[in-house]
Structure 1
Amino acid sequence: MDQDRIDVKNIEFWNELCGSGLTRSLGITEASPENLRRFDDAYFAFYPYLTDYVLRYNLSGKKVLEIGLGYGTLGQLIASRGADYYGLDIAEGPVNMMRYRLEQLGRSIEDKMRVGSALDIPHADASFDYVYTIGCLHHTGDLPKAVSEVYRVLVPGGKAIVMLYNRNSFRRLIQAPLLRLFFWATQRKTNFDKYVRSLYDSNAAGEAAPHTDYVSRNQVKRLFQAFSQVKIDVQNFDNYSLFRGHIFLLRQKFLNNVARVIGLDLYITAEK
């Protein structure tokens, strides 16, 4: 699939806000302040490590760009810390949600919320002290270009906090090969890679994200080689049901041990 086609598909796919599955499970049907608080509490309970990537920094008065806005949970936390917050997403839906959240905070929006591509960030060089992009760049179709754009818009000494999917996770090393054998023996799925992508991101219709990259630690080091410092954390894990549901393994038990080695996500903190 060429880049133009990926962009068109991404606009359509991500206009359904990332996190919509959680809203359905919570019975949320409208974006009221109370419902968004319920969503945010559930979101951070599911990803308990995520807040630390915001709270560890003094963001007050700092220019912060978030790329890939989803339901706006992380963006609202960043903005509430006193940051001069800017948002960018390829789809209109997430941008509108973040505008609504900022309005609820009484924040001036002006032209700070934009629809646009991470491959062509609509801001000047050295514009931001921090760039946050959690689970976004690996969907762009050109990960090296996306990382170079993040580098470009950071000030010298600025930090990027980036989450990318881990190529060497338990899901990809163990679960996916076993599933491939199962489907080959039973259903003979014609597009197994698309099925695996749907395990990471799928819309209400069960369709997978148009494009997904998975990277190893070594690939991260090459992608971020222009940065002066790079730190990589491994986070996140799946729930697992074994023996037809007779044994259920809760992901929370693995978040501080196994997940830190073969977890789903690589959290990269890179300083320009």
Structure 2
Amino acid sequence: MVRELFNSIAERYDLVNRLTTLGLDKRWRRKACETALTYLDVKKPRILDVACGTGDMIRCMMKRLEKRGVPARFYGLDCSERMLEIARKKVPFAELRVGNAEDIPFPDGSFDLVSVAFGLRNFSEREKAISEIHRVLKQGGILLLLEFSRNESPLGKLAWFYTRSVVPIIGGILTGNREAYNHLLRSIEAFPSPEELSREFEKRGFEVLTIRWFFPRIAFVMVLRRV
């Protein structure tokens, strides 16, 4: 279901993201990458972006590392073939594969950093996906999570009202598939808080390094280390 959902909205996915977040999604990615890279001390890192979509996170990470003069090898994994078709044009330097987070097609300890941006909510078996991410990370490797969740602060409640009221309308008009965006809203509503999520990861061999909400408190970054 998730694969077909993202296949159906792939062509307008980036446009909807820019419009509905007023461009903030690019800032969230940039800040998330900068936060995670403060914990990465590897000369030639191997980086995997799970649920890579159209490649925005890979491109963001590449630009940050390029500024630091750090060469890296990039890999992407996504269940949506149409999303990957777009990603191959945006990040031709990355090795992209069709696949699922619950069965990552790479050997144990393959990566220095794994990122998941706005994809964790859509994993059908989150516990299995967490175990797979742990498996493919090297000892001491970094995990970067960027996700949506509800925040009970006044600003967070206002952001959730906007997201719930406006995003399905804009997404539905531009993609012709309003139900896809209704599904995404339901996934946000059912998603655990960062604190609850951190406990899930700690039980499976991760140490939480930092949690940070981004304006307007509808998106957060969590950086963890594989222990």
Mark yes or no: TM-score above 0.5.
Answer: yes
Aligned to 2:68: none
Residue deviations 1:191-220 (CA, integer Å, cap 9, x gap): xxx957956x94523331635142213311
Aligned to 2:55: 72
Structure 1 gaps, min length 5: 1-5, 26-40, 180-193, 239-262
Aligned to 2:102: 119
* Cα gap change, 1:61 to 1:70, in 2 (>3 Å): same
> Does structure 1 retain, via aligned residues, the 8 Å contact 2:210–2:222?
yes
Aligned to 1:164: 147
> Does structure 1 retain, via aligned residues, the 8 Å contact 2:79–2:99?
yes
Aligned to 1:210: 183
Matched letter for residue 94 of structure 1: M
Aligned to 1:49: 31
Matched letter for residue 89 of structure 2: Y
Aligned to 1:15: 10
Alignment of 1:146-161 (within 5 A): 146-161=129-144
Looking at structure 1, the residues matched to 73 and 212 of structure 2 have their Cα atoms a distance apart, in angstroms, of: 29
Give aligned pairs, total. Answer: 207
SS in 2 for 1:49: helix
Matched letter for residue 133 of structure 1: V
SS in 2 for 1:79: helix
Looking at structure 2, the residues matched to 55 and 137 of structure 1 have their Cα atoms a distance apart, in angstroms, of: 20
> Does structure 2 retain, via aligned residues, the 8 Å contact 1:151–1:227?
yes
Judging by fraction of residues, say which structure has more helix.
2
Aligned to 1:88: 77
* Cα gap change, 1:24 to 1:168, in 2 (>3 Å): closer
* Aligned-residue offset at 1:67: 1.3
Looking at structure 2, the residues matched to 132 and 47 of structure 1 have their Cα atoms a distance apart, in angstroms, of: 11
Matched letter for residue 214 of structure 1: F
Aligned to 2:225: 271
User: Aligned pair 1:138/2:138, yes or no?
Assistant: no
Looking at structure 2, the residues matched to 75 and 198 of structure 1 have their Cα atoms a distance apart, in angstroms, of: 25
Aligned to 1:102: 91
Structure having greater relative contact order (Cα 8 Å, sep ≥ 6): 2
TM-score (norm 2): 0.72
Matched letter for residue 211 of structure 2: D
- The sequence identity of aligned pairs, in percent, is 21
Matched letter for residue 229 of structure 1: E
Residue deviations 1:104-155 (CA, integer Å, cap 9, x gap): xxx3x5xx21011112211122111110111111122332222222112111
Task: Decide which of 219, 225, 241 is 2:196's aligned counterpart.
Answer: 219
SS in 2 for 1:120: coil
Looking at structure 2, the residues matched to 150 and 264 of structure 1 have their Cα atoms a distance apart, in angstroms, of: 24
Looking at structure 2, the residues matched to 86 and 148 of structure 1 have their Cα atoms a distance apart, in angstroms, of: 19
* Cα gap change, 1:101 to 1:229, in 2 (>3 Å): same
> Which one has a bigger Cα radius of gyration?
1
Looking at structure 2, the residues matched to 164 and 42 of structure 1 have their Cα atoms a distance apart, in angstroms, of: 13
Alignment of 1:253-264 (within 5 A): 263-264=217-218
TM-score (norm 1): 0.62
* Cα gap change, 1:10 to 1:153, in 2 (>3 Å): farther
Matched letter for residue 215 of structure 1: P
